[in-house]
A and B are shown apart, each in its own frame.
Chain A
C-alpha cells in the first residue's frame, strides 16, 4: 500500500497497557514524513514506527542518530524495510541501535517478545546504576537465600538426628517389651511373675516392690509380697480383702493389717475374670505427674502381664483338677486299675500295687498269667460289667470289671477293674460261726457240769464216810483222803466253769480283786504251763464292785493273750497296786509287745492277729467294754518297751 498518510494500526490486545491505545504504528515512506511523525502526538508514548519505501535502513539510522535526543527515554522502534522484503521490518532500540529483523508474517507473539526485549534493553541501558543496584540487591537476596538454605539444611539434619534417636528409643522399648514378654512366657509360678515385674520396675525409684493379690477360685484369696529378698505367699481372709479391693481407700489400711507394717500410697492395676482375678499393687511416693507417667509405662506391659497371669491361673486350675482326680483315685483304699484288652496296665492307684509292671496280674499278684477267677474276659465278651473273685496270698478279693472307652473314637475297649478286699468279711463270717459254736459249747459245758456234779457229790461223800469209818490207822486212809481232795478240786473246777460260762444271772457284788484273780487262775493252768508266773497282788483291802464272772473273763482273756504272745517261754506277771481310791491290775508279759501301728486297733471288735480258729477277735473289745461298765478303764501301758503290759484300772469300794 503506497500512502503517505499515517496509518494507525491498533494493536491493543497485543500491546497491553492501561488505556489499550498505547501502542501505535506509524508507517512512513520518507524522511520528511518521519520528521512529521516526530511532531505528531504519537511520539509522546512508546510507539512502533514502521518505515518503508524510500527510507533505507541507513537513512533511518542517520535520522535516528540525528533525532536521538528527541527519542530519549521513549521507545522508538522502528523500521519496516520494504525493499528487503515487503513483509519485513527492523526493530531498533535507540540506545544501542540494535536492529532486529522481524517478519510481518510472523505471529503477534513473536512481535510481543521482541517488543519487550526492546523495552527491557532500553530500560537497562537507561540506568546502569539501577542495574548495579539490582545486582547488589540480588546478591544480597542470593546471600540471604543461601543463608536460609544453610539454616534449612541444618534444621533438617537436626530433625533427622532427633528422629533417628527416637527410632532407636522406640526400638529399644520394643526390644525391652519383647524381652519382657519372653521372660513372662517362661514363668511357672505367680511368684516368678512378681519377680519379673519387680525387676522391670527397678529404675522407678519411687515405686516399691509390687504386691500381687490373686484369687483362683471363689472365696479364696492369696497375697504374694516381698519381705526383703524373700517372697511370701500367704492366704488372705476373703471377708477382709474383698470389700477393700472394691474400695481403694480401704485397701491401704487392710493391707497394713495383713502385712503387719505401714503401707505407702497405692496404685492398683487389676485383672478381672469370671473365675479368677489378680491385683497388682504398687506402693509409691510419686507426684501425680509421675504417677501418670508410671501408669503409662504399666499400660504397655499390662497386656503381657494379663496374658501371663491368665495362663498361670488356667495352668494352676488344670493342674488342680488333675491333682484332685489323681488324689481321689489314689486315696481310694480299694485297688483300682485301668487296663487295655491285653491286660496291660494303663493307670492304677496306689492301693493297686507298689510295683509297676506291664500287666495287671504281674503288678497286683506277682503272677505271670491271668488270675484265676478274673472277670475281665467275661466282661470283654459281654461288653458289660462282670464280677469275679481272685486271691492274692491270704487275701481274697471281689473283682468288678467294667468296660470303658477312654477315647471316643477308639474301637478297642479298656477295662476299669475294681478290687474289694473281702478277706475280713469272709473271716468275720467264719468268726460269727465260731462264736455261735462257742455259745453252744458254753451251754453244753453247763449241762456237763451239772451231770458231773452228781457223781462227784457221791464220790466225795462216800470218801468222807469211808475216811470216818476206817479211821486214820487204816492202810486206805490216806488214799481215801486223796480221793476226797480230787473230788473237791473237780467240784471247784465245775463251780468255776458254771460261773464263768455265765449261765447264772450275773450280779454285781463287792468282791476282793484277789479273790477274782484266784478264782480265774485254775482255768489258766494249761495255758500257763510253759511260763514262769509271778503273782504280786496287793495285800490290803482291794474291794471292787463288779460282776465277778465278767471280770474273770477279762482276766482270762488278758492272761490267755499274754501267754499266746510269749509262745513257748517267757514270764507272766500279775500284779496289783493301790493308789488312793484306784486299784490297778496289770498283766505283764515278756513277749514281742504290741506294734505301735496296731495299738489302737487291738481294742476294736474283730481285730485279731491270730490265725483262724485261735481267736475270735472279740476278746479285747469285749474286755474293754466290760471294764468300762464297771466304771474303769482297760488300756495298754505304752511306756512299757519290753513285752506288753495291759492295765485294768478300777475304782476301789468299801469292804462289805
Chain B
C-alpha cells in the first residue's frame, strides 16, 4: 500500500512512517502542503494522511486542489478535535478524522489501513 504522510511535525511524520513501514507499506513523506501536493500528484498514493494546520497550504486547501486528480483515501489529523464532526469531514472531502494526540499509534495505523482493506 502506498501511503503519503503530510505533516509539518517531524516526530509525527517519523512515527507514522515508521509504523506503516513496519507493516510493510510504502511511505512517502512531505513536510508541508506545497511539497505534499507535488508528491500526491506525482506518486498517486492509496492513502493520504494529512495534517489540518500547516504553514503555506492547509490540509483542507490541499484536498480542494487535488481532489479531482486522486483516488486516494484521505485521513485528516488535528489537535482541534472539537472543530470537526463526521459531516464536516465529509464536506472537506476527507474519509476519516483522527484527533491528536493519538492514544496508540498502532491502533491509529490499523484504523487508517482499514479504509483501503474494507473495500
Binding site for B on A (CB under 8 A): 450, 453-462, 464-465, 468-469, 491, 504-505
The contact sample of 6 A-B pairs, CB cut-off 8 A, is: A458-B9, A461-B15, A461-B105, A465-B15, A465-B19, A504-B82
One of B39-47, B61-69, B96-104 at the interface: B96-104
In the complex, the chain B residue whose C-beta lies closest to that of A468 is B106
B82 to chain A, nearest CB (A): 5
B111 to chain A, nearest CB (A): 13
A469 contacts B79, CB within 8 Å? no
Q: Fill in one digit per residue for B17-42: 1 if any A CB lies within 8 Å of its CB, else 0.
A: 01100100000000000000000000
- Is residue B84 contacting chain A, with contact meaning CB distance below 8 A? no
Give the distance in Å from the alpha carbon of A454 to the alpha carbon of B10 in the complex: 9
B1 to chain A, nearest CB (A): 18
B79 contacts A454, CB within 8 Å? yes
Residue numbers in A under 8 Å from B86 (CB-CB): none
In the complex, the chain A residue whose C-beta lies closest to that of B108 is A461
Give the distance in Å from the alpha carbon of A459 to the alpha carbon of B105 in the complex: 11
In the complex, the chain B residue whose C-beta lies closest to that of A466 is B18
Give the distance in Å from the alpha carbon of A450 to the alpha carbon of B83 in the complex: 13
- Contacts A453-B100, A468-B106 given; 8 further ones with Cβ under 8 A? A453-B101, A455-B11, A458-B12, A460-B102, A462-B18, A462-B105, A465-B15, A465-B18
Residue numbers in B under 8 Å from A468 (CB-CB): 22, 106
A548 to chain B, nearest CB (A): 15
Tell which of A457, A491, A504 has the most Cβ of chain B within 10 Å.
Answer: A457
Given known contacts A453-B100, A454-B100, A491-B101, A459 and B11 CB-to-CB distance under 8 angstroms: yes
- Is residue B92 contacting chain A, with contact meaning CB distance below 8 A? no
Q: How many interface contacts (CB-CB < 8 Å) are there between A and B?
A: 60
Residue numbers in A under 8 Å from B106 (CB-CB): 464-465, 468
In the complex, the chain B residue whose C-beta lies closest to that of A453 is B79
Residue numbers in B under 8 Å from A504 (CB-CB): 82
The 7 closest A-B pairs by CB, nearest first: A458-B11, A461-B15, A461-B105, A457-B101, A453-B79, A462-B15, A454-B9
Residue numbers in A under 8 Å from B14 (CB-CB): 458, 462
Give the distance in Å from the alpha carbon of A459 to the alpha carbon of B100 in the complex: 12
In the complex, the chain B residue whose C-beta lies closest to that of A487 is B101
Give the distance in Å from the alpha carbon of A208 to the alpha carbon of B9 in the complex: 108
B interface secondary structure, majority:
helix
State which of B9, B82, B104 has its C-beta within 8 Å of the C-beta of A455. B9
Residue numbers in A under 8 Å from B11 (CB-CB): 454-455, 457-459, 461-462
A101 to chain B, nearest CB (A): 177
A464 contacts B101, CB within 8 Å? no
A498 to chain B, nearest CB (A): 9
Give the distance in Å from the alpha carbon of A455 to the alpha carbon of B9 in the complex: 7
Residue numbers in A under 8 Å from B16 (CB-CB): 461
Give the distance in Å from the alpha carbon of A505 to the alpha carbon of B83 in the complex: 11
In the complex, the chain A residue whose C-beta lies closest to that of B7 is A454
Residue numbers in A under 8 Å from B15 (CB-CB): 458, 461-462, 464-465
Tell which of A461, A464, A491, A505 has the most Cβ of chain B within 10 Å.
Answer: A461
Residue numbers in A under 8 Å from B105 (CB-CB): 460-462, 464-465
Give the distance in Å from the alpha carbon of A458 to the alpha carbon of B101 in the complex: 8
B28 to chain A, nearest CB (A): 18
Give the distance in Å from the alpha carbon of A459 to the alpha carbon of B102 in the complex: 11
B115 to chain A, nearest CB (A): 19
Give the distance in Å from the alpha carbon of A460 to the alpha carbon of B12 in the complex: 9
B9 contacts A465, CB within 8 Å? no
Given known contacts A450-B79, A450-B80, A457 and B18 CB-to-CB distance under 8 angstroms: no
In the complex, the chain A residue whose C-beta lies closest to that of B10 is A458
In the complex, the chain B residue whose C-beta lies closest to that of A495 is B101
Residue numbers in A under 8 Å from B12 (CB-CB): 454, 457-458, 461
Residue numbers in B under 8 Å from A462 (CB-CB): 11, 14-15, 18, 105
Give the distance in Å from the alpha carbon of A232 to the alpha carbon of B9 in the complex: 93
In the complex, the chain A residue whose C-beta lies closest to that of B107 is A464
A466 to chain B, nearest CB (A): 8
Give the distance in Å from the alpha carbon of A73 to the alpha carbon of B24 in the complex: 210
Give the distance in Å from the alpha carbon of A416 to the alpha carbon of B17 in the complex: 83
Give the distance in Å from the alpha carbon of A455 to the alpha carbon of B8 in the complex: 10
Give the distance in Å from the alpha carbon of A453 to the alpha carbon of B30 in the complex: 20
Given known contacts A455-B11, A457-B100, A465 and B22 CB-to-CB distance under 8 angstroms: yes
B57 to chain A, nearest CB (A): 17
In the complex, the chain A residue whose C-beta lies closest to that of B17 is A465
Residue numbers in A under 8 Å from B82 (CB-CB): 504-505
In the complex, the chain A residue whose C-beta lies closest to that of B101 is A457
Give the distance in Å from the alpha carbon of A504 to the alpha carbon of B79 in the complex: 13
Give the distance in Å from the alpha carbon of A491 to the alpha carbon of B81 in the complex: 14
B21 to chain A, nearest CB (A): 10
Give the distance in Å from the alpha carbon of A582 to the alpha carbon of B100 in the complex: 38
Give the distance in Å from the alpha carbon of A456 to the alpha carbon of B79 in the complex: 11
Give the distance in Å from the alpha carbon of A459 to the alpha carbon of B82 in the complex: 22
